[in-house]
Amino acid sequence: MIEITIISVVAVAVFVFVLVKRLTTEEELDVYYDMSETERHHHKWGYTDTEFDFDGPKSVKVSGNRYPISGYSMPSLIPFVEDMLGVTINPDDKNVENEDDDIPEPEINEAFFSSIKANFQEEQFSLDSKERLIHSHGQLSVDEIYRILYGTSLKRVVDLVVYPQGEDDVKKLIQFANQHDVCLVPYGGGTNVSGALACPVEEKRMIVSVDMRRMDRILWVDEENYLACIEVGITGKQLEIALGEKGFTTGHDPDSVEISTLGGWISTNASGMKKNKYGNIEDIVLEATLITPTGNVETKSITPRNSTGIQPRWLLFGSEGNFGIITKAVLKIHPKPKIRHYGSLIFPSFEIGVNFLKELHQSSVLPASIRLVANIEFRLGQALKPKPTFWKAQKDKLQRFFLFKIMGFKLNEMVACTIVMEGTKAEVHQQEKSIYHLAKKYKGISSGAANGKRGYMLTFAIAYIRDFFNKYYILGETFETSVPWNKIHQVTQSVEKELHVQREKYNLPGYPFLSYRVTQTYHTGVCIYFMMGIYVKGLDRADDVFSEIEYRLREVILENGGSLSHHHGIGKIRQKFLPQIQSENSLRVLRKCKKAMDPQNIFGIRNGAFN
């Protein structure tokens, strides 16, 4: 009897201990992209350990284990793409990558190069042809990557690559370039999709790429005031690892976070997926240092907000390498969230999903990220799943019966939202309660945290799909815009309609692919992110035709009330549209500012207003 009592007491004690531990232990934050660093592809997107490839006649697999999408067969992706494009994809019928890059010999300014050799270590500069080509492009799909891999390569590449290791190196480099009339081009992660790194063909001076990635240090952290001063060559991944060790985050989370740099974010005026909670880059950066041929542009005091006249720092956002080199920035930082929850919802149609997002944004409860994926992209996401197990297949049948027979959803109309909520437990639980309560008003149905997490993480792997389909004569590109709430459907429907007009005009084989999603919401509107794909086998001037079609779609976006860009920037592919959105005097003022900072046009990359 005594033994039973002792056992009971021990059991109760153990139960109480476990219960208390559960109540007092914080949930461990998941890591939603791979933190390891391995070799990057020279020209294609991402890392060499990750690649789509056939593992059967109609099945593909992603190599490695970097992403949740890696390591399993996807039997539905190829049939889905074939059905959408109206073509047959044969594993044996593919483009062959160029063996030779046909890189022109470098133009060397001997006086400048002598100064570099005398003042920099040998490992801080390179004339290697492959390095020069890598530093001469971003990730513009057709005009850069496709042409390098399968076309006629690039007509002009940088002549030298220099790797500064600190501000003194940057100042010396600018001094020598100014003295000897050499063109400098800042380089970060090389992820831009606007042609911003393309060397002007008409540039006769020596062009030098300034690779900033060795300037990747956190200079100081002010934990009391939630500030950090950071060199701009740091990648998003490096930044989050370093700040995370101190218990902080910036919260800036673009699709390219693994590879893109702080300097690139500032110079393109970037936006991240969790901007609802942390803001866009212009909200995160309080101050930055720009070194120009005529001196530094920076503010000497850092305060939460000030009214001290016109602030030159605004010239840095969207500057795209035209004014000088950004070397460091002071950022807002936040304590790492206590918990992170994912969620997902499905709605009967895109229109209903938009109405839900609009009302949600007017409420006081917003998750860190919420994205609405239109029907075609929703089905693409479903096609990226593995073949279900027996029991999973039975569960899916029950879910489809409920959705289609009982709730009246239609496969070719339904859409999905992926949600990320983070903060304290109370904040996250309140967000969950409010979001799902509001969703019921719009016939929204929860499809689970696992689908939400998977949908969010797919963002980091989906760029690899472009390079896979390029092999099989399918060219793809993304483009984005911001629009007022009342112009969303007008813009998306007009783009869809015009794409079919362009199909007839160019007599395209098969059908063009177009999907879109709402990635960010604002008080007055949203960002819409488009993906377009065209099958081009047998089509003359395929790369030119693709670019001409994309240009026309951009015209349609502007004609129907959309912006020129939400976060990709202008670069060179959108320069011709600037007179439509800026007054002549506005452009003149910008050019006068450049003349004041860079009178000899040392930073002659000619992006945006400076073509």
Q: Is the pLDDT of residue 40 over 80?
A: yes
Distance, in Å, from the CA atom of 560 to the CA atom of 297, rounded to the nearest integer, reads 38
Query: The domain spanning residue 377 has which CATH number?
Result: 3.30.70.3450
- Supply the DSSP string of 36-88, one letter for each residue: ---PBPSSSSSBTT--EEEEETTEEEE-SSSSTTTTSEESSHHHHHHHHHT--
pTM to 2 decimal places: 0.93
Q: Is the pLDDT of residue 139 over 80?
A: yes
For residue 569, being part of any structural domain is answered with no
Give the residue from 567, 601, 562, 600 showing the smallest Cα distance to 580: 562
Q: What is the pLDDT of residues 281-339, one digit of tens each?
A: 999 999 999 999 999 999 888 899 889 899 888 999 999 999 999 999 999 999 999 99
Within 10 Å of residue 506's Cβ, how many Cβ atoms?
19
Q: Is the pLDDT of residue 100 over 80?
A: no
Q: How many domains does the chain have?
A: 1
Any residues with CB less than 8 A from the CB of 515 and at least 6 apart, and which? 374, 376, 377, 380, 530, 531
For residue 541, being part of any structural domain is answered with no
- For residues 347 and 356, the answer to whether their CB atoms sit within 8 Å is yes
For residue 442, being part of any structural domain is answered with yes
The tokens for 77 are 């992706």
* Catalytic-residue membership of 342: no
Q: Is the pLDDT of residue 7 over 50?
A: no
Question: What are the C-alpha distances in Å from 216 to residues 131, 210, 247, 260?
Answer: 20, 14, 19, 12
- Supply the DSSP string of 115-149, one letter for each residue: HHHHHS-GGGEE--HHHHHHTT----IIIIIIHHH
Q: Is the pLDDT of residue 345 over 90?
A: yes
At residue 28, the pLDDT reads: 62
Q: What is the pLDDT of residues 368-397, one digit of tens each?
A: 999 999 999 999 999 999 999 989 889 989
Q: How confident is the model at residue 9 (pLDDT cuts 50, 70, 90)?
A: very low
Burial 458-485 (b: 16+ CB within 10 A, else e): bbbbbbbbbbbbbbbbbbbbbbbbbbeb
For residue 40, being part of any structural domain is answered with no
Find the domain containing 366 and state its range.
339-458
3-state SS, residue 567: coil
At residue 458, the pLDDT reads: 85
For residue 140, being part of any structural domain is answered with no
φ, ψ of residue 472 in degrees (nearest 5):
-110, 35
For residue 395, being part of any structural domain is answered with yes
- For residues 185 and 607, the answer to whether their CB atoms sit within 8 Å is no
Q: Is the pLDDT of residue 10 over 70?
A: no
Give the residue from 259, 228, 265 showing the smallest Cα distance to 243: 228
Candidate list 33, 187, 473, 529, residue with the active-site label: 529
DSSP state, residue 485: G
For residue 185, being part of any structural domain is answered with no
Give the residue from 354, 339, 525, 350 showing the smallest Cα distance to 431: 339
For residue 375, being part of any structural domain is answered with yes
Q: How confident is the model at residue 357 (pLDDT cuts 50, 70, 90)?
A: very high
